[in-house]
Amino acid sequence: MTGAASMLRLSARLVARDWRAGELRVLVAALVIAIAAVTSVGFFSDRVRLALVEQANALLGADLIVVSDRPIEPAIRQEAERLGLAQTTVLRFPSMVVIGERAQLSEVRAVGEGYPVKGEIALSPRHLEPPVATRSVPARGTVWVDTRMVALLGVDAGQSIELGDRSFTIAGVFERDAEASVGFLSMSPRILVNALDLPDTGLVQPASRISHRLMLSGTPSDVARFRNFVAPRLGAGQRTEDVREARPELRSAIERAERFLGLAALVSVILAGVAVALAARRFLQRHLDACAMMRCLGAPQRQMVGLYLGQFLLLGGVASAIGVAIGAAGQQVLVQVLGSLVSASLPPPTLAPAFKGLVTGVVLLLGFGLPPLVALASVPTLRVLRRDLGAPGRGSLLSWLAAGTAIASLVLWEAADLKLGLAMLGGTLAMVLVCAGCAWLAMRAAGRLAGGGRGRGAFTWRYGIANLNRRALGSIVQMTALGLGLMALLLLTLVRGELLDNWRRSLPADTPNQFLVNIQPDQVERVRAFHVQAGLAAPQVQPMVRGRLVSLNGRPVQPSDYGDERTRRLVDREFNLSFMADLPTDNRILAGRWWTPADRGAALVSFEQGIAERIGVRVGDTVVYDVAGTRREFIVASLRRVDWDSFRTNFFVVAAPGALDGLPVSYVTAFRLPEGREGFTHALIREFPNLLVIDVASILSRVQQMIDQVSKAVEFLFLFTLAAGLVVLYAAIASTRDERIHEGAIIRTLGGSRRQLQVVHLAEFTAIGALAGGVAAFGASALAWALGRFVLGVPFTFDPWVWVAGLLGGAVLVGAAGWVGTLDTTRAPPLATLRRL
């Protein structure tokens, strides 16, 4: 123990000396950046997670909820009553509300006696007045609206709003009701209405999308008994929710976002690892002689390893503390940028992310730093006589293995999923290799242009550029590290805006911006006429029948048959089926055949290719749909490709004309509302209160805003990446310092001026920066092309600014940093330098 303590003391003294000598700053800077990047994301996601758990606990509004897309069977309600559970049923559905001149899509909750069974509602009599906790429901003829509705429509208590066929008075404003929906993407404002008023609104129609929620509360044992009773009786479209199961789709969305940000932060960690490796290598070079001498004086190898390991761990501790502090500040930036996506206020974070940062730092330090230390401890003692012994090689198998293991374990840990982790590792490796390859090619080309230091033009510039090839490995490492950082930033700043603009421009001018849903059969002609009266083209309406897929080729279809979560949800909910005679222009048959007039009334359907693949449907298969209790069997006649970007109404599953006759049907349409005609929607809702208007333009702008927010957050994280790239640059400069000083002394002895030497360095680093910027611009353009080609379907346009920004930005940034970083190597008198060598 005392041995270890004294070794630690000695390590501390050595750290202090090496710090004074400036040996360790690169190491600490690299660790600080890596830890700050990881903990920024860690603290932020920790806070979001805590907010979710807290709200789920406090505000589920029940101990258990049975959710169903049809009225809940009486047997289930009776069992709850028998067990003495408090219960109430809430109907939830989307609808338009009209206030004065404006219409707004909202989430309506019709609540009755006994609501809420658990928790309470904080209700203000007017907006901004202090709320009072209540366990009642709105009186008949009145509604309560949430603060978002107030913000969107500028309404307040006392005003009148229209919901369906009825007019209501606003009697209160709440921030959160008992049933919270937390989180990303919950866009619609909420309105609470008394269930007894619901029939008067005329909003409940056969084909309406209504969620029935039986909310239950009781002792844990009774609730458990009820759960056991209900579990085997749940059909398709029915499920239970409790605190643990609340909002599974939201949780997985947030988990994905966390992983994405976490992996983005890992890019900085990997670059920081490179800097640590470079710094550790230089540390090794500088300490070889001292180490050989200590070994010569009788220090055992174990002691040497202990001594240097102690030094590194002390450093790691200090760097971690600084990194965690910066991370804690960094997460505030993320909250500022992303906070509005999370509707709830965020609780303070726990210490767990700090621990994660710490582990990251240690893994980085040991993975990248330990192998050189081991090499240091095993330096041959004979080096005291022969200085060429024990010089570090290009990196042993051990050091590559250790670094690889460190990165792999960090990535897999962050991804929390083997497949995703391996994909990330493979992707990173491929990206690094491609970047390194480009850097190598660019460097060779530059070297050829500079003629290996010969040829025409200013000697110093040619000599500096030729230096790139002379230090080939180091140059490639620097260009790759800086190139990756710059590429990420270019992609997020210039390329993203350009791509989205292109995509928006690629939409035809008559692209529909409004969808009308829930048109009843008797309203179709009136709705069309209403358009014509208003001077708009009569829209093409399409029939829609809601049905659940219950069997495929004779086998029942269950969500649990599918591993993929999205497929499960697709199978669990009702499909929108339509029928039509002609293939829409934005559809293309991939397999099978489209029907002819002779097929009228035949039980044929056509599947969209993507969903067919998900569910495993092929041409010729038999599928059974359950539509409001009626089962119909169909044969899959064809698979189609659909151009979703057209923004026209399209359906996953389409039937032949006549195939759906006799089933409850409603109609949908999409149309383009010219700017300045917003009043039309309002008039439409007045006339047809049951219609839902989905304003695609506002959804698009909301999505755009979200993309902006998320990419700002990622941009922020990539600032760490760029910083890590600069530390790699600095580490590389430091690792070639002795060589540069030597070179400088010789050149000055031979009559070269200090200025000539500085120009050599300036040329070298400007070239590194410009080439890294070129690699970054190339990478960003290639990714933009791939995104445009395969994801957005827009043609690639060459954006010269990406190249200007990449080349110029890289050249100026790196040229300046490198020039400043090597200034002092040109200062010492040449004799002093030459004598030291």
Partner 1 sequence: MKAVDLTKRVTTGESSLLILSRVSFEIEAGASVAVLGASGSGKTTLLGLLAGLDVPTEGRVEVHGEDIFRLDEDGRAALRQRLVGFVFQSFQLLPALTALENVMLPLELAGRSDAREQALPLLERVGLAARVGHYPRQLSGGEQQRVALARAFVTRPRLLMADEPTGNLDAATGSGVIELMFELNREQGTTLVLVTHDEQLARRCGRRLRIAAGELVADESDLRPAAAGTPVAEPTSAPAVHAA
744-762 residues labelled b (16+ CB within 10 A) or e (exposed): bbebbeeebeeebbbbbbb
Residue 463 in the binding site for partner 1 (CB under 8 A): yes
We find the least distance from the C-beta atom of residue 388 to partner 1, in angstroms, to be 10
Residue 470 in the binding site for partner 1 (CB under 8 A): yes
Residue 520 in the binding site for partner 1 (CB under 8 A): no
Nearer to partner 1, 42 or 447 (CB): 447
Tell me the two tokens of residue 154: 């500028």
Residue 671 in the binding site for partner 1 (CB under 8 A): no
Residue 753 in the binding site for partner 1 (CB under 8 A): yes
We find the least distance from the C-beta atom of residue 400 to partner 1, in angstroms, to be 24
Distance CA 109, CA 177 (A): 10
Residue 416 in the binding site for partner 1 (CB under 8 A): no
Distance CA 363, CA 356 (A): 11
Only one of the segments 5-13, 124-132, 157-165, 745-753 lies at the binding site for partner 1 (rule: CB under 8 A); that segment is: 745-753
Give the largest CA-CA distance in the chain: 102
We find the least distance from the C-beta atom of residue 740 to partner 1, in angstroms, to be 11
Nearer to partner 1, 804 or 823 (CB): 823
Residue 823 in the binding site for partner 1 (CB under 8 A): no
Residue 459 in the binding site for partner 1 (CB under 8 A): yes
We find the least distance from the C-beta atom of residue 459 to partner 1, in angstroms, to be 4
Residue 832 in the binding site for partner 1 (CB under 8 A): yes
Site size with partner 1, rule: CB under 8 A? 30
Residue 746 in the binding site for partner 1 (CB under 8 A): yes
User: One symbol per residue from 329 to 348: x for binding partner 1 (CB under 8 A), - otherwise; what is it?
Assistant: --------------------
Residue 160 in the binding site for partner 1 (CB under 8 A): no
405: left (phi over 0), alpha (psi -120 to 50) or beta: alpha
We find the least distance from the C-beta atom of residue 289 to partner 1, in angstroms, to be 16
Q: Which of 453, 474, 725, 810 binds partner 1 (CB under 8 A)?
A: 453
Nearer to partner 1, 25 or 470 (CB): 470
Query: Which of helix, strand or coil describes residue 345?
Result: coil
We find the least distance from the C-beta atom of residue 824 to partner 1, in angstroms, to be 14
Residue 834 in the binding site for partner 1 (CB under 8 A): yes
Residue 836 in the binding site for partner 1 (CB under 8 A): no
Site for partner 1 in 710-739 (CB under 8 A): 739
We find the least distance from the C-beta atom of residue 20 to partner 1, in angstroms, to be 16
We find the least distance from the C-beta atom of residue 741 to partner 1, in angstroms, to be 12
Cβ proximity of 427 and 411 under 8 Å: no
Q: Which of 448, 754, 786, 823 binds partner 1 (CB under 8 A)?
A: 754
Distance CA 354, CA 39 (A): 6
Q: What are phi and psi of 579, to 5 degrees?
A: -135, 145
Nearer to partner 1, 70 or 737 (CB): 737
Nearer to partner 1, 311 or 758 (CB): 758
- What DSSP assignment string belongs to 110-153? EE-TT--SSS-EEEESSTTSPPEEE---PPTTEEEEEHHHHHHH
Residue 184 in the binding site for partner 1 (CB under 8 A): no
767-794 residues labelled b (16+ CB within 10 A) or e (exposed): bbbbbbbbbbbbbbbebbbebbeeebeb
Nearer to partner 1, 618 or 742 (CB): 742
Only one of the segments 299-307, 435-443, 519-527, 825-833 lies at the binding site for partner 1 (rule: CB under 8 A); that segment is: 825-833
Residue 394 in the binding site for partner 1 (CB under 8 A): no
Residue 454 in the binding site for partner 1 (CB under 8 A): yes
Residue 793 in the binding site for partner 1 (CB under 8 A): no
Q: Which of 65, 747, 771, 811 binds partner 1 (CB under 8 A)?
A: 747
Distance CA 210, CA 193 (A): 15
First to last CA, the chain: 42
Only one of the segments 122-130, 239-247, 356-364, 751-759 lies at the binding site for partner 1 (rule: CB under 8 A); that segment is: 751-759
Distance CA 298, CA 378 (A): 13
771, 774, 778, 783 alpha-carbon torsion, rounded to 10°: 100
We find the least distance from the C-beta atom of residue 757 to partner 1, in angstroms, to be 10
Only one of the segments 86-94, 104-112, 449-457, 625-633 lies at the binding site for partner 1 (rule: CB under 8 A); that segment is: 449-457
Q: Give which of 402, 401, 393 is closest to 473, Cα–Cα.
A: 393
Residue 752 in the binding site for partner 1 (CB under 8 A): yes
Task: Determine which helix (DSSP H) or strand (DSSP E) holds 539, and give its type and residue range.
Answer: none
Alpha-carbon separation of residue 649 from 83, 198, 792 (angstroms)? 47, 30, 19
Beta strand spans in 650-747 (E): 653-655, 666-671, 692-695
405-437 residues labelled b (16+ CB within 10 A) or e (exposed): ebbeebbbebbeeeebbeebbeebeebbebbbe
Residue 418 in the binding site for partner 1 (CB under 8 A): no
Distance CA 790, CA 777 (A): 20
Residue 755 in the binding site for partner 1 (CB under 8 A): yes
We find the least distance from the C-beta atom of residue 285 to partner 1, in angstroms, to be 14
Residue 837 in the binding site for partner 1 (CB under 8 A): yes
Query: Which of helix, strand or coil describes residue 694?
Result: strand
Cβ proximity of 26 and 275 under 8 Å: yes
Query: Which of helix, strand or coil describes residue 62?
Result: coil
**Which residues of the shown chain bind partner 1 in the complex (CB under 8 A)?**
452-454, 459, 463, 467, 470-471, 739, 742-743, 745-756, 829-832, 834-835, 837
